[in-house]
Structure 1
């Protein structure tokens, strides 16, 4: 091979593959020549050598060589610079193309329309959308109050050029990638969005916002921009602008606002409804207080407020809102919940912040059809009046003025909120008792513990599986033990400090025995219990997994508990209650997701809990008000009562095969709105879940549910499929008069929905406990637990 051929071979196969020298030699057999390429002989002559050079070296060295030639640093730098030049050119073109729009504030105000809300049958429920706006000159706003908005939103406002490049880039990237909106816009950008553009989250809108903000910053003074921002922002309570907000929240004009009040209004802009003190949840109140402190601390940092003045400030709680026309009675509660749920969907589907979503919903001409059933709603309101409010007399008993009722009714097959009771009147009590989460659900949490035990296939400390028939020690104030037998430092008292001795889980649920479920929670593992609670629909994200949670000490609302029990009623498929049927708008469509979700616990587990809860109704704390209610017409019922510590809340959450309703009573001081005890309310010594809540539930449900519906249960446990059996108590029960729990009654053996394998006695239990033991006693003395056979035919019934 000559030099020219070597050079061509080297070009074809890369430098490493090119031969240094080659020579053809005859093969050993005297046939084909063998060409030596480098040190390796290649049969077939020069053509074969060329193929070998091309194939072998080309797959390795040649491939890498091509990549190196394609991605040289010069080419990469050139490509990067080219992209940068194209981007700069595009931005310059955009800057030249986009002008500051004409005054759009008046046009936007004119475009604002009332939202129309309808019942499920299409009849009009309410119209909401009165515009409350008044423009004030910046000189009318105290200088320190102006600084609160700058400290809250954009500390560099007086020095920037109108945009935050990092924040804008992050916003654009999130919009493109669908990751949701984030903060980072300057006051100028937010003013431009409010005054000239819209709340939609699109790349084109964000680019326009950036360009217009740059131009506005060059053409307007900072004071004019700030004035425009605080005069066009939405503060909640239908208030647009700082003057309307000052009147709505503090009843003063903007020029009379204090720095503390201004800091609250500035903090409010992040999430107006969520941060409205009078309607906020405990979480919302903590968040707005934290935001308020953030604003004031920033002012100190920037030198706009002295440390001494900062330390002297206390949080300025706003006054109760004035009623809006057309939202009297329950209507305001419907509208507030519908708006909130629609905002949630806009945040998910359009990547809006809470503030942006509120601005996109309020006064925007939506037509929202609710799932509220007019007949069921009327029946629920009638039941509350007949069973509670008509019996309260604040002139006779001061505590009667402190009683608040809330209720939510949900179809377990569809997730529709068909009826809701938020309070006596939206004008008189702004906070919805149906959705508030600041009161403990108490013993209505016990079914969640049982569900977790069954779902996790948990065992007792002695290795027995936890079932409806497992025996636990029901001694009051019994120390809870961990798996090693060590005390965990928790020994809850039973209702009236009642001792039950050794009882089954079924009976413990019937009688709501705290000591049993406290031990069960630790046996299951409190983390597992809280995980199952979250799956069922409770908000436990910020709750600690500690044994005290077995008493239902976290916050929950009637709507939330209705969703939890609806999931049980729906055989373990998640139910997320929805008040919205459809939401229509002339410029955008919002898909309302199916309230029925995935299977979160197994059907057998859900059905077993339902079966056990039928015993609470027919043989436990809800027997008097529900099971023996004269209006009951054969309905199959499962449910659970609950009464919180110090009698601050009382609950009954129950369900038939076709409807779930949760009723809660809450002690709230009429003037301070602080939680208070309900002892003596309505003339009762104590307000219990088996009292007013269960009575309201029965008066409502037995008028709207199907009498022939049956639970379709996939289980062989619980009172619905087995007679209840109670072991001999190890301690003599007290003879104290029962309140919520019928602690001195012997539970019946009567199943609630299916025929038992053995015919139970139909004799009514006496008030005195049975002293004669059953013939079949456990062969050994139970310590913590024993699992019993489901049927005991030889028991002395």
Structure 2
């Protein structure tokens, strides 16, 4: 028995101590103080409670949350990678690797052409020279042999650049490109990219780098319908790839980036870009120590040989196919590589009857008059295009005599001056901008200008230093705008361009349909003489805008695209009032005068009310006629080009004539085609809302102008509009004005008046008192009208 005193309740613990199995705060009942005189139980030290997160601090994740989120994302990614790797297998070769044909159709559904013959010849990697292989690596993937199957960093960079508006950029390795070419397709979808990712990784484990590079070289598209580098070597240089030089191999490698755009034969205007890409490839080879710098420095650009298209694209078919392809790519409907996979059914806006009529007209009025024994006839080229002003549909196109003989499309090329066919845009701009002459007279068809040869162009501050010559150096003296248009007087239109403002003239031309990046479309007075090099199709679109009373919409060449029964989305056509109806219709009124009694009388052969303008390029290298009826706009150009060198040549002596001008073969071709194309439809008169002449049209006299004064005066207040559906003058029999060459007989007159870009701009002048009525200070010389 214990010697310790017992508690009344029998407990043996000393007084004041809590049971060992209870917490200290449970020793006494809650809320009760211990008995007086008894010691309190000592409390164990506890952790201080963390204050609760309040306010904005609750929005910030804790480090535990961040760590947990990172681990969760990592697990998802790892799990997704494992699942994707297990689920995605390397498929059999894509069935579309053997591409189908693209079928091109007229508007009525009849077939124009098929371009489905695939040009491919597979070869072993050992057959490709090492320098050519290095060129491909320098162009596409310099780290190919040391990198993984996919470049994740490059993929994210490309995706980020695309999302931030820096343009679509490639982030694919050669392995990925080969997988896309051979196993998948060119479609830009998330599913395809995911498959490409996993297949590339698996393929990299199952095939060697050499095998992958060999497959890539055999499946890549190089343009000219060449699939694989062996076919490309034949297409561009007419030799096997084993015989290709380093410089030629670098050019072939350059094509992988933009196959057709870098074809300097088909697109001579892109040569600078192609050469820059070629230099990039060679410099990359030097940087990677694959090419000796001295050898690199000695290399010159290897211009490829002529294009040898398939015979199935002979005649007009090849020109049409190429124009349609350019239209689809240029309007972002299909990219070039996707289109090259074939299988598309493409319905054009071309109308078979009109197309045949255009071909026949060119043959009758131009090509049938050439002679193999006449040297100048070797240089003759013809381009033509026709547009329905009501809807912008291109209904006919003539690209050349035969696509297999003349590869460049003369309807779409942009390297010949348009000559005086540009002058109507100057007058349109004058009316649209309510322009006045330097002495304050409103510009109308009846406004009188000084047509003196080499008259100095006067600006607001006096002479500009620009004094263009008229055709054959002929002076006309005081002459109305309408008559100056009939006779295509350079001195008048150069001054008018200055009166309106060259920048306004340029903008009007762009608004009507001339591409804003057209070469030599510069805002100087010489713009009036047609030194710009717009294409036949560009000019047709602009003249169609005039025919449509100033309403402009881009031309349409394709009405439907389908593949595997599914339609491809086509962009809508936006139509806007580019210039006022008054401006367009008043221009039409003076162009009617050109056809009725000016340089374009041969166009009356169409048997319809018509408006038009003749034009001749510098040194007679091209002759144009651009015209329209109320329901059809058409432009015809006869061009001179050396068949061996491709250089532009003068047309002197061609077709057995001393000269070819717009009023001859081009206008005659236009007339025959227009008459045939509209046969069976009622003739329509022009419904015009024109600007009326004012009484204030005469040139100022010396008495009305103080010395040094520009002679500006207030135009008289007369009605500005006149609605008419009748011809601007009574039609007269075709006549030839003495001293002109644009006559309907084919250009055998005594002179000419429609050269436009021919002689203007380089004859100079010493001051403001040359050829004009008013004195003024000397000016600085303006740019020459010659290119």
TM-score, length basis structure 2: 0.78
**What's the RMSD between the two structures over aligned residues?**
3.3
Q: Greater CA deviation, 135-144 or 538-547?
A: 538-547
Matches within 5 A, 1:246-645: 246-282=233-269, 284-345=270-331, 347=332, 357-395=335-373, 397-487=374-464, 489-541=465-517, 543=519, 544-586=522-564, 588-595=566-573, 597-623=575-601, 625-627=602-604, 629=605, 632-633=606-607, 635-645=608-618
Larger displacement relative to structure 2 (410-419 or 464-473): 464-473
1:337-364, CA deviations, whole angstroms, 9 ceiling, x for partnerless residues?
A: 122222334x35xxx7xxxx22222352
Question: SS in structure 2 opposite 1:529?
Answer: helix
After TM superposition, give the deviation of residue 272 of structure 1 in Å.
2.1
State whether structure 2 residue 638 is matched by structure 1 residue 660.
Answer: no
Indicate the SS of the match to 2:676: coil
CA contact (8 A) 1:651 1:688 kept: yes
Alpha-carbon distance, 1:73 to partner: 8.5
| Structure 2: segments with no counterpart, 5+ residues | 1-52, 703-722, 740-770, 776-787
CA–CA distance in structure 2, aligned partners of residues 65 and 636 of structure 1: 85
Aligned twin of 1:57 = none
Counterpart of 1:96 in structure 2 is: 85
Report if the CA contact (8 A) 1:502-1:728 is conserved.
no
Question: Match of 2:32?
Answer: none
Q: Offset at 1:698?
A: 0.8
More helix by share: 1
What CA distance in whole angstroms lies between the structure 2 residues aligned with 1:485 and 1:124?
61
Question: 2:676: which partner in 1?
Answer: 703
Counterparts in 2 of 1:183-222, with a 5 A limit? 183-222=170-209
Say whether the 8 Å CA contact 1:444–1:642 is kept in structure 2: yes
Higher mean alpha-carbon deviation, 91-100 vs 492-501, is at: 91-100
Cα distance, 1:564 vs structure 2: 1.0
Unmatched tracts of structure 1, length 5 or more: 1-63, 731-750, 770-780, 786-797
SS of the residue aligned with 1:660? strand
Deviations 1:656-699 (A, max 9, x none): 00101111111110111111111111121111111111111111
Deviation, structure 1 residue 271: 2.4
CA contact (8 A) 1:473 1:500 kept: yes
Deviation at 1:100, TM superposition (A): 4.7
Cα contact 2:421–2:614 (8 A) shared by 1: yes
Contact 2:614 2:625 in 1 (8 A): yes
Name the CA distance, whole Å, in 1 between partners of 2:538 and 2:471.
25
Question: Using the alignment, how far apart are the partners of 1:308 and 1:694 within structure 2?
Answer: 57
Which residue in the other structure is 1:141 paired with?
Answer: 128
- 2:109 matched to 1:122? yes
**Larger deviation: 416-425 or 325-334?**
325-334
Contact kept, 8 Å, 1:98 with 1:211, in 2: the verdict is no
Q: Measure, in 2, the Cα distance between the counterparts of 1:549 and 1:73.
A: 70
8 A contact 2:162–2:169 mirrored in 1: no
Aligned length: 668
- Displacement of 1:421: 0.9
User: Contact 1:636–1:753 at 8 Å: present in 2 too?
Assistant: no
Kindly provide the CA deviation profile for residues 269-305 of structure 1, in whole angstroms up to 9, marking residues without a partner as x. Answer: 22222332332151x2332222222222222233222
Residues 502, 782 of structure 1: 8 Å contact kept: no
1:755–1:199: structure 2 CA closer, same or farther, 3 Å change rule? closer
CA distance in 1 between counterparts of 2:67 and 2:512 reads: 56
In the alignment, what sits opposite 2:655? 682
Aligned equivalent of 2:708: none
1:644 deviates by 0.7
Question: Would the alpha carbon gap of residues 214 and 622 (structure 1) be closer, same or farther in structure 2, given more than 3 Å must change?
Answer: same
Structure possessing the higher radius of gyration over alpha carbons: 2
**8 A Cα contact 1:175 1:203, kept in partner:** no
TM-score (norm 1): 0.77
For residues 142 and 327 of structure 1, what CA distance do their matches in structure 2 show? Answer: 33
Give the 3 Å change call, closer, same or farther, for CA 689–311 of structure 1 in structure 2: farther
